[in-house]
Amino acid sequence: MSDLEVQGISVELAGRRIINQITLTASTDIVGLVGPNGSGKSTLLRTIYRMLRPTKGHILAEGRDVWGMRSREAARVIAAVVQDSPSDLELTVTECVATGRVPHGRLLGAGTSDDQAAVERAMNAAGVTHFADRGISTLSGGERQRVQLARALAQEPSILVLDEPTNHLDIQHQLSLLALVRSLRITTLITLHDLNLAAAYCDRVVVLFEGSAVATGTPQDVLTPDLLQQVFGVKAATMTNPLTGRLHLVYTDGNQQ
């Protein structure tokens, strides 16, 4: 049994098929979802963290259908890092991270010592302790992104889902966030636009194109010049990153020599 099994998921929105029969599994590895704008990456993630009910198919977390669980129960198993919601803006960093403990049954502000320890561990891991008392509304985009990760870690999930977590981050923080995610050794599904970050940090990638998974495998096997031409319409070449020994991609729009 895999930690996460996505079985034949389809999603229709406003009468349009957005996700078409996607199947994937993940177990203590990092699976990257890549694909052009509008290919369905966020929609697929939303079905997994129970924001959006699929039209067809099942999502099993630790062998149980997430859509058959109560939402709090599902939130103890799957944590999501998405763009922050307006209601977070009223909270301090510590309060925001503490909301990650709500699925564990405590009311906000009435945490046990276990809850406090989990919040502290999560804040340390995500590097947000030094602005613990600041209001979320006073933080930069990158700082908020790390608070979102800390909140997800405070949930102590077995599956972590991240939608474009490197969005607002400078290069140092992009790399440190992904290195941190790798060090957690939990099942992770992550959308990334930067294919070199996917190549550097993901064990496997799933390439989405017009709502279908058109390729799945190691970055080395999947992110080939042919596939990048077909899916992204760019001319690409592959090489080895001299610092890491991992796959590195370079591209042009196809018109340049």
What is the binding site for ligand ATP (CB under 6 A)?
13-14, 18, 35, 37-43
- Tell me the two tokens of residue 220: 């080395």
- Tell the smallest beta-carbon distance from residue 36 to ligand ATP (Å): 7
CA pair distance 38, 141, nearest whole angstrom: 23
The pair of three-digit structure tokens given for residue 125, joined into one six-digit string:
């891991």
Considering the complex, state which of residue 36 and residue 142 has its C-beta at the smaller distance from ligand ATP. 36
Place of tokens 């925001």: 96
Name which of 40 and 111 has its Cβ closer to ligand ATP: 40
Give me the least distance between CB of 199 and ligand ATP, in Å please: 18
CA atoms within 13 A on the CB side of 131: 20
Beta carbon of residue 210, minimum distance to ligand ATP (angstroms, whole number): 9
57 sits in which H/E element: strand 56-61
Burial per residue of 173-203, b for 16 or more beta-carbon CB atoms within 10 angstroms, e otherwise: bbeebbeebeeeebbbbbbbebbbbbbbbbe
Work out how close the CB of 206 gets to ligand ATP at its nearest, in angstroms, rounded to a whole number: 12
Distance CA(53)–CA(138), nearest Å, equals 34
Instruction: Please state, in angstroms and rounded to a whole number, the distance separating the CA atoms of residues 18 and 27.
Output: 26
Compute the least distance from the CB of residue 116 to ligand ATP, in Å: 36
Question: Which C-beta is closer to ligand ATP: that of 46 or that of 151?
Answer: 46
Judged by beta carbon, residue 52 or residue 102, the one nearer ligand ATP is 52
Of 139 and 208, which CB lies nearer to ligand ATP in the complex structure? Answer: 208
Residue pair 206/25 in contact (Cβ under 8 Å)? The answer is: no
Q: Closest separation between CB of residue 135 and ligand ATP, Å?
A: 28
Comparing CB distances to ligand ATP, the nearer of 97 and 222 is 222
Tokens representing 18?
A: 């957005």
Phi, psi of 218, deg, nearest 5: -70, 155
